[in-house]
Amino acid sequence: MATQQTNQPFLPLAHEQVRIAFMRTRATFELTREQHPQAPQEGSLLRQLNAVVETLYQAARDGKADVEIGPVSSAGQSDKVFDATGMSDHTRAAFEDLQSLIVALEDAGMRVTGETANAIRSFRLRENSVEARSRENLVVDHMIEAAKRQAEDRTHRNGQQRPVTVTIASNTVDSALASRVREKVAAADGRKLLGTEANDQQQFVILHKSGLYYAGRDAVGERIWSADYKEASPYNDEASAQGTADGMHMQGVRVIPAMKMLDSVVVSLPDGFNGHTAKFYIEPLEVSGNTVKLRCAEPGKEYMFTWREKSVVDAAVAAQLNSRKLPEVLQLVRTDMDNCRAYYKHGDTLYAFQRERRDHFQLYECTPAGEPMVPVPMKTIDRRPDDYPEFERWVDLENVRSFAEAETMSVAGNVPEHEYAFDCTLTAAIRVKGTSREAAEANLRAAMDAADCNAGAWPNGDPILFEASVNDSVLALYEMDGESVVDGNSPRPEPREIRLHAYDIVVTLPEQGGGAIKSSLHNDDEGPEAKAALDGLESMILAHAVAGIDVNSPAYLEGIETAVEAIWNQYGDEHVSDQRHDSASPRM
C-alpha cells in the first residue's frame, strides 16, 4: 500500500492503476446495463453497486483517505445478496472489476470500510470446478489451434518460417490456469505459434483475470477480442464477420482499458452537439449491421459510448491517418528547454514540436536557424496534463514518438560541429571537433589520456608511438574554424544580470572558474530565518549559473520569483521588507 507523506494532499487519481480500474469498472457496468437485462433483483443490485462505484470516484476526486460504503440492499446477508449461483457472466464481471477497483484504491492509500465493502471483498465465484476446468482447457485448445492455423497460413503465403511467440499477461489471478496454458503452448511447439515481427501482423494469447483474450494488430490499428467463457472457438477475422459461427461470442469491452500491452487508435468524430468533435476509440465494442458502438477517448468520459455508421468511421480513420502521416524517418536533433521545443530533421527540412500551452502541442516547419515558420496542417496534438506533467518527460524520445506517430524515429547528433585547435605543451597544435568548446576540450583530454599517439613510422617501418596527457587546467584556444582567436583566449560569457521586480541579481563568472553573486535581496530588517533562506536561494542561483544552466530563461526567472514569494509568505513583513536597498552585498 502506498504511504502518504506528511502535509501532502491525498490524490488517488494520480495513480495510473486507479484511473484504469475506474475506466474498466465503469465500462463494465455500462455494458451490463445497456445490453444485458437482468432479473429485477439482480438489476437492482447492479444499480446499487454502480452507485458504489460513483461514490468511490467522488471520494477519490475529493482526496478522501477514508470511505465507508453504506448497506446495499441486505448486504449484511452476503450469502444471499452476493451469491454467484445463477448469476449471469456480466454480473460476475461487474463484481470482479469492483473488487479490483477496491484493491487499487487501497494500494493507493485509501481505506474502504463498511458491510458492503467487506461483502464485496469476500465474494467468490461459486461454480463446479470440474466444469470450469473443462471450459478453460477447451478455450486454451481452441486458441492454440487457431494460432497454429494462422501461422501456417502466413507461412504458406510468404513461403518462409518466421520466429514467433506466445505472450501471456502477468496479471492473471488463476496461476494454475496460466501453468496449463504454458504447458499446452510448449507441447504444441509454442515457438511457432504467433507472429511478432514489427512489420507483420502481431497476435497474442492473453490470459486475463476475466478470461482468455485474442489480440491482433492489423493495418488500421490494434484489436482485442475475448473468447466466450461458455463457448470456445478460434477467433479470426472471418469469424468476426460471421458473428454466430460455432456459437462464438465476440466482446472486447473490459480488457481494452485494462491491458497496457496494445494502444488503441483514436479518431475524432462529431459528437452531435453544436458541431463539436470528440475522440473515440476506433475498435468497436459492438457491431449491429452497418453501425458500430464506440467508446469515448476523452479524459474523464471513457465510460461514454456512441453508435456510428461503420463507413463514416472508416472514412474518418483513413483521412486522419493520411493527414497525420509524417516522413518515415525523423531524426532528433536537439531540445530547447527554454522555448519548450524539440527539433527533428528529415532530409534538409527541420521540424519543431512547440508546446503552445501545457497540454497543447503544434508541429512546425522551421527555418535553418530553428525558428518556427510554417505550421504543419493537421499536426496539432492534445495530451492530458496528467499524462506528461513535466516537460522533461515530454522531450523523452519515447513520448515524442507517441506525439509524432512515427515508429521509425531515431536519434542522431546533427548539431553543427566546429573545429578547435588547442595550444598544448606539445610542439604541435592538436585539432579536435566538437559541438562546443567544452565538448571539444573534453574529447581532447579523453583521447590523450586513454590512447597512444601515432606520430609516423621509423625507418624500419615500425610506428612511432608516444604517450601524452593534458595537464593544464585551462587550455589556450588560438584558432576556431580556421580563424585566429585574439590573445589566445576564447570569448567568455559576460556577467549575467537578472532584474526581477524591485531587486537585482548579478552573477559574475570569471575565466578561471568559480563565480560570484550580488543581489539586493537582503536588508537590515530581516530576521535570521529569512537571511538563511535568502542565502540559500543565492547559493542555488550561483551554483546553477556555474554549472551552465541558463538562469536568464523565463522558466528560471519564474522559479526565482516563486521562491522569493514563498520566503515572504513564510516570514512576513517583519523579516523581509518589501522595500529593497539599491546596494548589494557580494557573496562568494
The secondary structure of 423-472, three-state, reads ECCCCCCEEEEECCHHHHHHHHHHHHHHCEEEEEECCCCCEEEEECCCCC
Q: Which of 27, 118, 23 is nearest to 77 (CA)?
A: 118
Q: Could you write out the DSSP letters of every residue in 228-292?
A: -SSS-----HHHHHHSSGGG---B-STHHHH--SSPPPEEEEE-SSTT-EEEEESS-SEEETTEE
Q: Give pLDDT, residue 560.
A: 81
Q: At what angle do helices 89-107 and 16-35 cross, to 10 degrees?
A: 160
Q: Give pLDDT, residue 562.
A: 81
Residue pLDDT tens, the chain, 588 long? 444 444 567 788 878 778 777 877 777 776 666 544 555 566 777 788 888 888 898 888 888 888 888 777 544 444 445 665 666 766 777 787 888 888 888 888 888 988 888 888 777 654 444 444 444 455 455 555 555 555 555 555 555 444 333 344 333 334 454 455 555 545 544 333 333 332 333 334 443 333 444 443 333 333 333 333 323 333 333 333 222 222 223 332 222 222 222 334 677 787 655 556 777 877 777 888 888 888 787 766 766 778 888 888 888 877 765 554 444 444 555 656 556 666 766 667 777 766 665 445 566 777 777 676 666 543 333 433 333 333 334 344 434 443 333 323 333 333 345 656 565 555 456 777 777 777 888 887 777 766 566 666 667 676 666 656 666 666 777 777 767 765 545 455 455 555 555 457 777 766 545 667 777 777 767 777 878 888 888 888 877 777 777 777 777 777 888 888 787 777 765 444 444 434 334 444
Q: Is the distance from CB of 409 to CB of 396 less than 8 angstroms?
A: no
| Identity of residue 348 | D
Distance, CA of 529 to CA of 188 (rounded, Å) = 73
Length of the chain, please?
588
Q: C-alpha grid cell for residue 190?
A: 509454442
Distance, CA of 313 to CA of 285 (rounded, Å) = 13
Distance, CA of 28 to CA of 23 (rounded, Å) = 9
Vertex 218: Cα angle to 216 and 221 (nearest 5):
90
Distance, CA of 395 to CA of 407 (rounded, Å) = 16
Q: Is 421 helix (H, G, I), strand (E, B) or coil?
A: strand
Q: Is the distance from CB of 154 to CB of 251 less than 8 angstroms?
A: no
Distance, CA of 240 to CA of 225 (rounded, Å) = 9
Q: Which residues pair with 164 in a beta bridge?
A: 195
Q: Give pLDDT, residue 458.
A: 65
How many C-beta atoms lie closer than 10 Å to residue 260's C-beta? Answer: 10
Q: Is 363 helix (H, G, I), strand (E, B) or coil?
A: strand
Q: Which of 511, 521, 531, 510 is nearest to 575 (CA)?
A: 531
| Identity of residue 450 | A
Indicate left, alpha or beta for 189 from its phi (over 0: left) and psi (-120 to 50: alpha): left
Instruction: Give whole-number Cα distances, 35 to 38, 90, 173, in Å.
Output: 10, 10, 27
Distance, CA of 32 to CA of 200 (rounded, Å) = 35
Q: Which of 174, 162, 185, 189 is nearest to 229 (CA)?
A: 174
Q: Is the distance from CB of 535 to CB of 527 less than 8 angstroms?
A: no
Q: Could you write out the DSSP letters of every residue in 67-87?
A: EEPPP-SSTTSHHHHT--TT-
Distance, CA of 342 to CA of 393 (rounded, Å) = 12
Q: Give pLDDT, residue 164.
A: 35
| Site of grid cell 522533461 | 392
How many C-beta atoms lie closer than 10 Å to residue 157's C-beta? Answer: 8
Q: At what angle do helices 16-35 and 40-62 cross, to 10 degrees?
A: 150
* DSSP annotation of 384: -
Q: Give pLDDT, residue 179.
A: 53
Q: Give pLDDT, residue 346.
A: 65
How many C-beta atoms lie closer than 10 Å to residue 502's C-beta? Answer: 11
Distance, CA of 448 to CA of 225 (rounded, Å) = 61
**Who contacts 75 (Cβ-Cβ below 8 Å, separation ≥6)?**
81, 82, 115, 116, 119
Q: C-alpha grid cell for residue 286?
A: 459492438
Pairing of strands 503-508, 496-500: antiparallel
pTM of this structure: 0.28
Distance, CA of 533 to CA of 56 (rounded, Å) = 42
Q: Is 478 helix (H, G, I), strand (E, B) or coil?
A: strand
